[in-house]
Structure 1
Amino acid sequence: MRRSAQSRRVALVTGCSSGFGLLTSIELAKQGYVVVASMRRPEAKDALLEAARVVGVESSIVVEAMDVRNEEQVTSVVQQIYECYGRLDVLVNNAGEALGGLIEEIPLSVWREQMETNFIGMVCVTKAVLPLMRASNGGRIIQLSSISGEVGFPGFGPYASSKFAMEGFSECLALEVKPFGIDVVLIQPGAYGTPIWGKGFSSMSTNTDSPYQELLKSILSYSKRSAEDAGNPLDVAKLVARVATMRSPAFRYRTPLGTTVTMLAKRGLPERWFQRMILTLLTRKS
């Protein structure tokens, strides 16, 4: 039997144990959504439920165990959404990790892990929800991409590759599902200070005799400063919630302002000039 909340809008958010996923779940619940907040490790749900309790939306949050890389688990969660609510209005593809290092020195296993989580996992969830969205006569898929989906920064080859793949996938998807009333929207945050970067920074290392050692030190120093000086991640979550409720959203949104400035520079400058500018920015002394 379906729950009495079936008339309410329903959102599925992936990667909700921390960061953008946690904050986005709260913001969508505040907008009146029933939020199915999925996470790979549901034992980490306490932070989300406490945040929901503080603002009075705990009853609107349903935590589900879901590893986006596990097709059987993904299919099961989407089936549960159908059985409980009979609809899915919004999917927020947020689950991911940031792995890095210098390309020559990154093991293939790291490349596979990065693509499996950030790209293949996202494809898996998207494919699973499309039949339900079509049956619901429409929906909205919000992709948490990154400025790294349009600008490749040294030291973040695996992460940038996964986000470039997400961008291309989303452009194709938007054209394929538009006739069914399904919107696709890309959101490209800059380097906000969320827990995703902790593993990314810790995964970056070189041998003491590496020819890239000095470059990596500069990249890490700049990246950590950027994460510390970045804006409030809540701004991204609020943007996602606004996009979810807009009548006609744009296809891409960038935040904060510096992200837009970077893209304007990439598009307006000769490519070699832009590359030199990025290298100079990353390697200059603080």
Structure 2
Amino acid sequence: MKKKTAVITGASSGFGFLTTIELAKEGFYVLATMRDLSKREKLVETLTDLGLQDYVDFQRLDVTKEQSIQEFGSILEGFEQITLLVNNAGFALGGFAEEVTVEEYRKQFDTNFFGLIAVTKAVLPHMRKQQYGKIINIGSISGQIGFPGLSPYVSSKYALEGFSECLRLEVNPFGIDVVLIEPGSYNTNIWTTGKQIAQKSLHIESPYNPMMEKVEREIAKGQSSLGDPMDVVRLICSIATKKSKTTKLRYSIGKGVKASIFLKNCLPWRLWEIIVLKRLFK
């Protein structure tokens, strides 16, 4: 394949769904990957309506399964170049730490962190040999700011921050850019799967019940001001088409995100802690 080729994980919904469409519009040949290919119908229909169906190839990829990663790696061998990797696959677990099992933490990290590393390792040899490429990791403001009741998700995004920073320094000499996008709250379905875990802390007998209910109310209160996911997608596409060596490591985006990160980094921890706890629990 001589076209610009992009790999996107988690393409069945959210940012991945929309980014697949926009990159196809930009002329990329997109390998849209997802764990369950039966969820591709809506994307296929949208691409067909736009006349973009020939720009997208759907591939099954479970980022938590070694065999699936190996099979996908074999598919990549058929391409002359891999221009772009968008690590988007992820989900969110909530609940207070005492009531979240270690196994649940592992499942969170298997997708959001270790799965991302596995896909990146499958793509890197291609980019290193061709001496160019971009890797865009979809992080979160949660990788910069902790929040009570969300430690599984927050921890996985903090880990991604460190990995992305190291990786950018490691592969820069090979002409590869690594970028981390840190969205705030957007209208996607990422929190849908977190409710099952949060139920433990929402149970009336849980010592964390009063606090978890307040966290839930705070999250619900923000639903009316969720950002348009297309803002993030346009940022992804802008970075994807930038000239090499012109990107930054971190791009924060969303209502109040930059101000929140600035305050958290500037204020003494004790003062920041008082502000957060007063807002949530007083």
Q: TM-score, normalised by structure 1?
A: 0.94
Equivalent residue, structure 2, for 1:215: 211
Equivalent residue, structure 2, for 1:3: none
How many angstroms apart in 2 are the aligned matches of 1:152 and 1:186?
A: 18
**CA deviation after TM superposition for structure 1 residue 17, in Å:** 0.8
Amino acid at match of 2:38: E
Q: Structure 1 regions of 5+ residues with no counterpart?
A: 1-5
**CA deviation after TM superposition for structure 1 residue 215, in Å:** 0.5
Equivalent residue, structure 2, for 1:272: 270
Q: Structure 2 regions of 5+ residues with no counterpart?
A: none
Aligned runs of 1:93-132 on 2, under 5 Å?
93-132=87-126
**CA deviation after TM superposition for structure 1 residue 257, in Å:** 3.7
Count residues in correspondence.
278
How many angstroms apart in 2 are the aligned matches of 1:46 and 1:281?
A: 43
Equivalent residue, structure 2, for 1:187: 181
How many angstroms apart in 1 are the aligned matches of 2:207 and 2:49?
A: 50
**CA deviation after TM superposition for structure 1 residue 202, in Å:** 4.0
2:51 counterpart (36, 48, 56): 56
Equivalent residue, structure 2, for 1:242: 238
How many angstroms apart in 2 are the aligned matches of 1:225 and 1:57?
A: 38
Contact residue 63 and residue 118 of structure 2 kept, 8 A: yes
Aligned runs of 1:22-171 on 2, under 5 Å?
22-83=17-78, 85-171=79-165
Q: TM-score, normalised by structure 2?
A: 0.95
- Residues 166, 252 of structure 1: alpha-carbon distance in 2 compared, 3 angstrom cutoff: same
**CA deviation after TM superposition for structure 1 residue 141, in Å:** 0.4
Which structure 1 residue ranges, 4+ long, deviate > 4 Å from structure 2?
none
Any idea what SS the aligned residue of 1:35 has?
strand
1:20 matched to 2:25: no
Amino acid at match of 2:257: T
How many angstroms apart in 1 are the aligned matches of 2:259 and 2:51?
A: 38
Contact residue 146 and residue 154 of structure 2 kept, 8 A: yes
Identity %: 41
Amino acid at match of 2:275: M
How many angstroms apart in 2 are the aligned matches of 1:104 and 1:22?
A: 35
Any idea what SS the aligned residue of 1:277 has?
helix
